Structure 1
């Protein structure tokens, strides 16, 4: 038997999956971890424990569960949250916790300074993206300025995936899709690192070698084999960010295909036939030469459901809390009995790019129930998602097909509200495992055991969720956007309070 291993590191959970050449899942494993929030606006992971430790755990678990000899794994691919920022020393040891993607807003001052110094138009033209909390470049500059003692020891700046690949193979590489998030250090025209825009951020020696996601980065070393149970010499791909692997898992590959990922954040990727240049969205080369992707993401989505469960449903058993809350939300009508929620609990990424935005629950009265509030949270996320899909259309990239994936698709209220509020039909595929399954497919493609089109056979569409018309949603979507505009000054004035 020929098998393929895919492992994905998420914000709160790591998943591993072992599949055969037909895409049949032979074994799955998961391991939870926490997102560390040492202060408001910061978000971190422990690279040794949460990234490498989880990889080792789930890999050994799927090997034990399947009973398949490690020698029968033809290739390994991994993905992880990103873009992240992790400085390591000459031995590859982390020098601090990994700084997470756009939910971490610590480099707001560096973003403003670099934008003013370089020019917003120049950054967009050269890098394909405005500088936002999603950008790694300002976070590296923040590190260099605020922690010179760490910077002095820094040999390489990793993201989460490149850190895993280095542990597995000893190679220091990063894929182009991830690298494009390192603005202003990546030039989308030359598809190479650039240092002429801001040479004071770091030096060329600090950044990994560029490869495409499906390229083989190296082979499992003896040390990595001993730790993970994999066979020495097993090919390992370059890997990518989790959202990209998630898109692959449901067949996003043609221009106009859009992935709607329901996870800790809503993340959206649309494959396009040319570069979309809009400061409200993100751009990156897709996973192979000559391909393009336009992206968007909310700062908090599934994280809000976790927050609500942990703060306001503590009496519910943890394993049944979410189904119970979903049932309570389903008992509340569309519009949540007049409640509106701004889901900006960690600022917001696209399309407003406002790290100082605040969460808000508006319209409360003495009749509202926990179910109303939980429904308002799900609808608030859906309104934020609709704001993004509206932006795609305004940018000339209205999607032709939407494929929904991620743990949140199990929440029918959330899934249905998103279709109804956006006015778009969503397709849910047979397997909703997500990024780890996409990783396994990328591993199969990397060694010639599958072609990109084979994903339609591996994971065919299972059902559609067409939109239904609810007058409350049309009214409240307009009020949602107005509520942000009308409270923006207040939110900004609350900074530091």
Structure 2
């Protein structure tokens, strides 16, 4: 028996998978496990998931973690859950899930966003709610349900998010975590409380929205039914939880004002720790997990997803050469692109292949290849893709500075950060050192650490850094500064020109 061990459980309700981690304080990962999640898109622009599938995954992951780690359930002193936001989960008065969860990436509610924008001044809304009027707002998703699925809308008795749903399944208690509430558009930044007026924009009763809870606040304890489903002990505390991108920032070491995280997944997240909120409609705003700090952030519509698309559709012929060299296709493309000079001999790519979220919020934007000539080949285009994303990252960092948040340290994590070639390009374009991370377990680690803080196993938010080690620190090459400064200006000007052309065509 090892009940004396201080262990905490972290769960991540992600878009593509559900992940669990068991850690022992102060610095040991005991086990990690995951299950896939099915993302459904029944119509163009839709993104839905079955929330009961998340719970099924949790009930399979927890016994696996216990078996792999060799510990008893009694050794788990607390549980934290993180997840994507703001997904929309709805329950009826019988606490039955009404329909599949509408994901944060869902694009069906453009008309409802425009409707809300016609009713309230965006600048005023942004100052009150901290975020702009965009498709992240839960009110817009609720209005879509009201107008397109009126029978489902009438049944709504509870509105909350992905990790709120799992917390409820574990404890029987309903709450909305502070960042789900903030990005949903329900919090008045002046009071940091739920606003009846903001909730009313969603045309639901105030009673449908559970109370707001802090990330580290204890929500409740594991119930008998949850124990039967998972193997956990009745009475184990469960905290409010965390938004996945904010949790990932904490796990990466973004703990001081000016710390920036570049998170390279299928899309790319850019986050900065700040002491002030400074609402700006170009960016999203969240609370930092460390009380007293904020975390303005941006999310690009694509990243690794577009690189995978390009490699599959245009570079598949290089797979044989990559295989003979014993490297992946992406590594091979990096290797051959490195033989071209910075600036890709004049080829520039605007990588808005799925439209773009922050900071331009332009769903109609599209990818552009500019400057292509007969002297160019695959190497130049791949390098231009990587440089294009680096320019887009610089745009985010520039906007942070315009908001009053200069960057002092840049960290990089997740899959794309494994490309030293790409990360060096980012350092050169940003003209800032980029610190790589090693052994970053992801958002589930921060979920576990928030739980440890919540039950008093630690009072040191930075203690999570013991689980993550630093890799290389990539220094910018000064000789590329002028070239990339010019390339960045051209990047911005090319997009602006393309948008002007689109608007002119619409005008006709």
Query: TM-score, normalized by length of structure 2?
Result: 0.88
Residues 235 and 328 of structure 1: CA distance in aligned 2, closer, same or farther (over 3 Å)? farther
Match of 1:169 in 2: 171
Measure, in 2, the Cα distance between the counterparts of 1:35 and 1:366: 41
| Structure 2 counterpart SS, 1:284 | coil
1:152 to 141, 150, 154: 154
Contact 1:129-1:283 at 8 Å conserved across structures: yes
- Looking at secondary structure, tell me which structure has more helix per residue: 2
What displacement does 1:225 show?
2.5
Q: How does 1:442-461 map to 2 (within 5 A)?
A: 442-450=450-458, 451-461=460-470
What displacement does 1:151 show?
0.6
Match of 2:489 in 1: 478
Match of 2:214 in 1: 212
Q: How does 1:205-354 map to 2 (within 5 A)?
A: 205-287=207-289, 289-312=291-314, 320-354=328-362
- Show structure 2 runs of 5+ residues with no match: none
Contact 1:285-1:293 at 8 Å conserved across structures: yes
Measure, in 2, the Cα distance between the counterparts of 1:475 and 1:47: 47
1:377 to 385, 401, 406: 385
2:476 to 452, 461, 467: 467
**Larger Rg over CA atoms:** 2
1:2 aligns with 2:6: yes
Measure, in 2, the Cα distance between the counterparts of 1:156 and 1:472: 54
| Structure 1 counterpart SS, 2:65 | helix
Match of 1:391 in 2: 399
Residues 146 and 252 of structure 1: CA distance in aligned 2, closer, same or farther (over 3 Å)? same
1:28 aligns with 2:17: no
| Structure 2 counterpart SS, 1:292 | coil
Match of 2:433 in 1: 425
Q: Deviations over 1:157-211 (max 9, x none)?
A: 221111221122222112212211112x321111122232562512212222201
Measure, in 2, the Cα distance between the counterparts of 1:100 and 1:280: 21
Residues 13 and 410 of structure 1: CA distance in aligned 2, closer, same or farther (over 3 Å)? farther
Measure, in 2, the Cα distance between the counterparts of 1:249 and 1:492: 42
CA RMSD of aligned residues (A): 2.6
Please, which moves more after superposition, 208-217 or 290-299? 290-299
| Structure 1 counterpart SS, 2:463 | helix
| Structure 2 counterpart SS, 1:27 | strand
Query: TM-score, normalized by length of structure 1?
Result: 0.90
Q: How many residues align?
A: 491
1:488 aligns with 2:499: yes
What displacement does 1:289 show?
4.7
Q: Deviations over 1:256-289 (max 9, x none)?
A: 2222222222222222122213222222333355
1:45 aligns with 2:56: no
Match of 1:406 in 2: 414
Measure, in 1, the Cα distance between the counterparts of 2:378 and 2:44: 26
- Show structure 1 runs of 5+ residues with no match: none
Measure, in 2, the Cα distance between the counterparts of 1:96 and 1:493: 40
Contact 1:41-1:346 at 8 Å conserved across structures: no
Residues 395 and 306 of structure 1: CA distance in aligned 2, closer, same or farther (over 3 Å)? same
Contact 1:115-1:123 at 8 Å conserved across structures: no
Contact 2:270-2:299 at 8 Å conserved across structures: yes
Match of 1:81 in 2: 84
What displacement does 1:135 show?
2.4
Measure, in 1, the Cα distance between the counterparts of 2:33 and 2:21: 7
Residues 346 and 104 of structure 1: CA distance in aligned 2, closer, same or farther (over 3 Å)? farther
Residues 90 and 463 of structure 1: CA distance in aligned 2, closer, same or farther (over 3 Å)? farther
